[in-house]
Structure 1
């Protein structure tokens, strides 16, 4: 049964979300299955890239796109070490998932509330936490950063790691 999940454009009005659980659920609803591993018609990372870009823009975080790789960038004043948080945005095929792969619903498992859906653990929950971390650093910054904080959300980790290769090539 095909998922009846909202399209990425319908999700842009929720760029104010910073709670990791809610953010993970939003990210789960965007099909970012790797195009080389998936036969689904909406496969690819462009929808999630658009969402991440809108989310970063809403917070005034400088961003750069290398091909389809969004990179949020909090600029420091210089003279300090930089920190890059690297995560990936693609998932494996939706076809092999047992439940509704894009729904992002919560259920109890072994006494804990967990988020179900393709990519919830690999890597959308981590992506949500890293996005929230970068937003918190910007929001709670008391003293100027000396080094930069870079959130790199790369594509194609599930196959050839082209996003990481593009990021390295871009410097």
Structure 2
């Protein structure tokens, strides 16, 4: 009878977070491809009412975000059940939202992409077809709670460039995975 070594832990769920325009989706897709895991776009879980509200220039409050966060958290649970791991792009602006995501995944690691406000405004203004208008960007900065010292993850300046962000995130994530084994 063959015996195998200890089961390998499932890859962590990586949440790429930050304000609109910080590059969450771009970095998230590339990081998922490099890791060979699915990419989950957090914006896809917003109900139509939320998208309409943002398109009209109204910031979301916690009550508005609740159905989105519930749906996204369930998607993270599905990823965990699959055993594959994933990379999720999601603003995760508040600690309470990140706590919910942590409850859904035993191993979650956050990559917080920060960005100078002027650069973020320029990026959001230059996007075509996205529901988030520039005038809502300030509301995101106002509610943003940066990663706490007790939260697994890394904060990087998204203005450093995608290649630099991916390299540094990959190094830090490898360290996190080594400690999690």
TM-score by length of structure 2 reads 0.25
- The structure richer in strand per residue is 1
TM-score by length of structure 1 reads 0.26
- The structure richer in helix per residue is 2
